[in-house]
């Protein structure tokens, strides 16, 4: 009898928690954004979420999963399972990571491509790094970046970016909102660069960040 009572109380509590969770959500999609590192990308997408006034329950941004691409994918899958088990799964999951210097980059892309359920997981990858997306706010370039002794390809992009944002540092806050005037140009340049990479069959350089920005822009529409 005691066990039965405990079971019913636990079931009632779970039901109540689910109702409370659902009540806090707004009518648009629930998405998860998992980023590498704990600074630049999470700050960028938190800033974007705030700019578009998106509910934190609908749009969860996480950066507490390490910087290795497979760590990001594994963390994203775990969070999806947790919310699914709670009865309120994410409808879309976005994994943001760079190619620059990461040995599990290709593995992460393959894992996302084969993930189930289909149409839920998306790779938002940049080559060589996220700062290439920021650079496209100022200039269109498809010059490939090749690592040199003591100067990684990502560091080369960072050097170029500082020609336009001299005080830029990884982990900077409010980068999204500070570049909002150039956002539509960056989206056009990113798509143009991506199409060019498909045409010449190379991913260096390229980015998919503009696709996720568009998703955030469209969430409430």
Sequence spans of domains, the chain: 26-218
pLDDT of the residue at 36: 85
- The predicted structure's pLDDT at residue 137: 98
Distance (Å, whole) CA 73 – CA 121: 9
DSSP assignment letter at 182: G
Residue written as tokens 């989206």? Answer: 187
Which pair of structure tokens corresponds to residue 132?
A: 């290439």
As beta bridge partners, residue 61 has: 33
Contact 62, 37 (CB under 8 A): no
Q: How buried is 150 (Cβ within 10 angstroms: 0-12 exposed, 13-18 middle, 19+ buried)?
A: exposed
Q: Which contacts of 79-86 are long-range, i.e. CB under 8 A and separated by 24 or more positions?
A: 79/32, 79/34, 80/32, 80/120, 83/30, 83/32, 86/17, 86/18, 86/21
Q: What local confidence, expressed as pLDDT, does residue 141 receive?
A: 98
Map tokens 């960028």 to a residue.
Answer: 44
pLDDT of residue 105: 96
pLDDT of 46 reads: 97
Q: Of 153, 124, 150, which Cα lies nearest the Cα of 36?
A: 124
Mean pLDDT by 10 residues, the chain (221 residues): 41 44 78 89 97 97 92 98 97 96 94 97 97 98 95 96 94 94 98 98 97 97 83
Confirm whether pTM is higher than 0.75. yes
CB 148 within 8 A of CB 120: no
């Amino acid at each position: 009898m005691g066990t039965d009572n405990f079971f019913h109380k636990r079931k009632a509590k779970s039901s109540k928690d689910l109702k409370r969770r659902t009540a806090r959500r707004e009518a648009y999609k629930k998405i998860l954004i998992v980023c590498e590192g704990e600074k630049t990308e999470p700050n960028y997408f938190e800033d974007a979420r705030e700019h578009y006034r998106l509910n934190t329950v609908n749009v969860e941004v996480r950066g507490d999963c390490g910087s290795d691409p497979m760590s990001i994918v594994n963390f994203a899958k775990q969070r999806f399972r947790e919310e699914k088990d709670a009865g309120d799964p994410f409808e879309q999951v976005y994994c943001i990571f760079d190619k620059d210097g990461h040995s599990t980059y290709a593995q992460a892309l393959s894992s996302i491509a084969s993930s189930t359920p289909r149409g839920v997981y998306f790779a938002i990858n940049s080559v060589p790094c996220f700062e290439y997306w920021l650079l496209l706010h100022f200039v269109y370039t498809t010059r490939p970046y090749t690592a040199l002794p003591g100067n990684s390809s990502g560091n080369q992009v960072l050097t170029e970016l500082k020609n336009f944002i001299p005080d830029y540092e990884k982990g900077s806050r409010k980068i999204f909102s500070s570049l909002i005037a150039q956002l539509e140009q960056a989206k056009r340049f990113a798509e143009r660069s991506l199409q060019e990479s498909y045409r010449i069959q190379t991913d260096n350089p390229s980015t998919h960040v503009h696709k996720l920005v568009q998703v955030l822009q469209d969430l409430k529409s």
